[in-house]
Amino acid sequence: MSIHIVALGNEGDTFHQDNRPSGLIRTYLGRSPLVSGDESSLLLNAASTVARPVFTEYQASAFGNVKLVVHDCPVWDIFDSDWYTSRNLIGGADIIVIKYNVNDKFSFHEVKDNYIPVIKRALNSVPVIIAAVGTRQNEELPCTCPLCTSDRGSCVSTTEGIQLAKELGATYLELHSLDDFYIGKYFGGVLEYFMIQALNQKTSEKMKKRKMSNSFHGIRPPQLEQPEKMPVLKAEASHYNSDLNNLLFCCQCVDVVFYNPDLKEVVEAHKIVLCAVSHVFMLLFNVKSPTDIQDSSIIRTTQDLFAINRDTAFPGASHESSGNPPLRVIVKDALFCSCLSDILRFIYSGAFQWEELEEDIRKKLKDSGDVSDVIEKVKCILKTPGKINCLRNCKTYQARKPLWFYNTSLKFFLNKPMLADVVFEIQGTTVPAHRAILVARCEVMAAMFNGNYMEAKSVLIPVYGVSKETFLSFLEYLYTDSCCPAGIFQAMCLLICAEMYQVSRLQHICELFIITQLQSMPSRELASMNLDIVDLLKKAKFHHSDCLSTWLLHFIATNYLIFSQKPEFQDLSVEERSFVEKHRWPSNMYLKQLAEYRKYIHSRKCRCLVM
């Protein structure tokens, strides 16, 4: 075992070149009782010293049998001329000693500014000793005057030395002379303490390596590889807003028509959407009574703007049919009526694009007062009963997120008979709904209600193969664009319903829910749960949920040791079994190596440190 010490710096007085025969390191090696070696053996050889004059290499024995190697470098220029060698020496050092003469301030600052940062970067938890050698000149008459620099210009103060030691995390020593006290007891005591610490650390590391080598001399424990990454399932973006916005332009399931004061048709709309946004329309279409609303401004706005015409002989009626004709609404305010198509487009798009609405109204109404009057009426339509109109600043609302009235207010009409025009019969019970929302949100229902099918003319529609709870969750998604299944089983039932009606985004939501639930289960819960994961896989495949079925195969393979013990594992097809065996974790090779290692450990009757 050896200790490597690197000494850097010149402790000689540059002002008095007296060619001292011995420096700090040489003096310590020659006088320390713990270091053995005669004068001829201390210096390695003259040839090496001449070949590399910047270094003096000493070799000796310490503590009896510990090899001590010291590289003494009085010249700092080696960091400029031979950086590779100096970096290797510092990197391999067990202790570093930095020496300087207290009367050579110029050299001290040159070293501190140019070379100490280099050493700091190369240090790696190595103890450092900073030795300030010499007695300061004029020390008995120190000058503290801020204008006087007589002492400061030549001597390195104790404060400067301590500050340097703090930067390096080093131990600071002041050696006024190279006598037995300062060299043997002071400097030698600190250096020998760090030598003992270095020996203890090396001995500890050596013992650890020896134990590891003895433990794994025969067979090493197998390395368990990481399981394969699970497939990533990307969610589909919502098109809730565009679905309802398109409903205004496609003119399907229209149940209200607005007319101007001259009884000319202006625009068609849907009661359910208008009532989801405004209490004015709720009052107009008798969804709520004035007693329910209890807001005089909303009641006054309804009476001032709209009137319902129920005359059987109506000159502007163009929607006469054998079924229920659309409700006819007269818009009393001519200016408001001229902008009604833009206002409805604003409402159907989420009622938040105020600047666009104001710009569209300005194009039709040149007078700014008329524009403000129409905008104020729109705000009154969107007002919440019992509250001060909070829509006074349009630009403030333009900067906020869209006010998606539908996905919160449409839930008010879910499974309620108000404005309902279709009833689903499920498991002996009925569920009322609204054709406009169903047509806007589901292409299958749009084709069913507008094609040559029995459902297009029927009010009562039977639903088979789906439970009432699942169908209500499906309608909740259509009305609100969100759903929250109670568990994996209900999510799978909802996925099957979504596949039946071709609502792909709801399928993806259910897939993500199932995946999230399974991923969050600890291994113990996976082993004890009653859910048939293979049956879940087969249902996902049957209902064309390719992403979920692929993920479930990887999930079974990743948790092979759990699912292979379950009886339903035998229900996997040959192709599925082949995939699971190929991607199983842990692999067969690892288990075989683990068995061999355990057999080896037990045969030696020793205890494995890893297992």
Task: In whole angstroms, give the CA distance from residue 514 to residue 518.
Answer: 6
Mean pLDDT per 10-residue section of the chain, whose length is 611 residues:
87 50 77 62 42 71 84 79 74 88 86 82 84 76 50 77 89 86 85 88 82 62 86 85 89 91 92 92 93 90 92 58 78 94 89 84 90 92 73 46 56 93 95 95 92 85 94 95 92 96 94 94 90 94 94 95 93 94 92 87 62 48
> Strands across the sheet with 327-331, in order?
265-269, 256-259, 327-331, 306-309
User: Cα angle vertex 338, ends 333, 344, to 5°?
Assistant: 95
First to last CA, the chain: 32
**Ramachandran bin of 350, using left for φ above 0, alpha for ψ from -120 to 50, beta for the remaining angles:** left
Asked whether the whole model's pTM tops 0.75, one would answer no
Task: Report the pLDDT value the prediction gives residue 351, as an integer from 0 to 100.
Answer: 66
Task: Report the pLDDT value the prediction gives residue 399, as an integer from 0 to 100.
Answer: 39
The tokens of 137 are what?
A: 């000149």
Write the CA distances from 151 to 130, 133, 138, 142, 144, integer angstroms. Answer: 22, 17, 7, 7, 9
The tokens of 197 are what?
A: 């610490």
166 φ, ψ (degrees, to nearest 5): -65, -40
Task: Report the pLDDT value the prediction gives residue 389, as an integer from 0 to 100.
Answer: 58
The tokens of 447 are what?
A: 């084709």
For 162, other C-beta atoms within 10 Å of its C-beta total 14
Domains defined for the chain, CATH in brackets: 2-36+54-138+154-209 (3.40.50.300), 251-311+324-392 (3.30.710), 411-589 (3.30.710.10)
- Helix 188-215, helix 24-31: angle, nearest 10: 70
For 556, other C-beta atoms within 10 Å of its C-beta total 25
Rg (CA), the chain: 45
